[in-house]
Amino acid sequence: MKTISENRCFGGTQGVYSHDSAATNCEMTFGLFLPEEAKHIPVPVLWYLSGLTCTHENAMTKAGAQAWAAEYGVALVFPDTSPRGDGVANDEAYDLGQGAGFYVNATQDPWAPHFKMWDYVAEELPALLGDNFALDMERQAITGHSMGGHGALTLAMNLPGRFTSVSAFAPIANPTESDWGQKQFGAYLGSDRSTWAKHDATLLMREKGFDGPVLIDQGGSDNFLDLLKPEALAEAIMAKRQDGIFRMQQGYDHSYFFVSSFMEDHVSFHAEYLFA
């Protein structure tokens, strides 16, 4: 593992690190904020998964999360959204290939050799973090935005007991019924739709739900509402009688202005359960 940068931030440290990944077969970069408490004791972890076209850097610099994480003594992990590099498959479209990993393990060519983002986020990066930093990996929570909200919800529901809580900002909520999902799942996973179901938050909510509390914020003026399909997830939450809160935030769009406006709510939501 290589240290790219470390900056003093709200009494703690905002670091950026890279390492060779066995899961993605390339070098990966991630951001990690450690609050001051990490100098003395292992601290709980809040994952933030970013959306289409993003890297580890977008939320790290735009979401305003470090101030609230420092207040509660929580670490923040900012993974990248896909494998990258000259030898990694890509596409001219912004919503496929590099920057658009969708947090799945690709089985189809040319994506399969590198696009193993599920294994990377679920297994490899947690192990690396636990081995190298003062983190309490028994206390983890997860959130994300857009494609990252999709990833946060699907990881949480597929890994029972891993996360104390899950939240999302404007998640791609029903990708098997959306162009933001059907295109990518077809490319990465193939035409057998039965392999897509574990990556659809609405279908997972209907089938199994989450073994903890859920918080969803969706902007009412989001220009991607038809692609995100938040109403499908809201209906599934109600039908499952899930312990959850779904909030339609009127006037807000899909940008980081929206994310940063409600970041305090999400960090405090997770802190309540991480320290329960």
**Angle, nearest 10°, between helix axes 65-72 and 256-274?**
10
Burial degree of 7 (CB within 10 A; 0-12, 13-18, 19+): exposed
Catalytic residue selected from 146, 165, 167, 178: 146
Catalytic residue selected from 114, 145, 150, 254: 254
The C-alpha atoms of residue 14 and residue 63 are separated, in whole angstroms, by 13
Which ranges of 166-229 does DSSP label H, i.e. alpha helix?
A: 179-189, 201-207, 225-228
Structure-token pair, residue 125 = 């990066």
User: Among 205, 223, 189, 210, which Cα is nearest to 116's?
Assistant: 189
Residue 150 is a catalytic residue: no
Q: How many CB atoms are located within 10 Å of the residue 39 CB?
A: 12
Residue 222 is a catalytic residue: yes
| Residue 114 backbone phi and psi in degrees, to 5 | -125, -30
User: Among 88, 152, 95, which Cα is nearest to 118's?
Assistant: 152
Catalytic residue selected from 80, 200, 217, 222: 222
| Residue 155 backbone phi and psi in degrees, to 5 | -65, -45
Residue 146 is a catalytic residue: yes
Q: Quick check: 65 and 271 in contact, CB under 8 A?
A: no
Active-site residues, by number, are 146, 222, 254
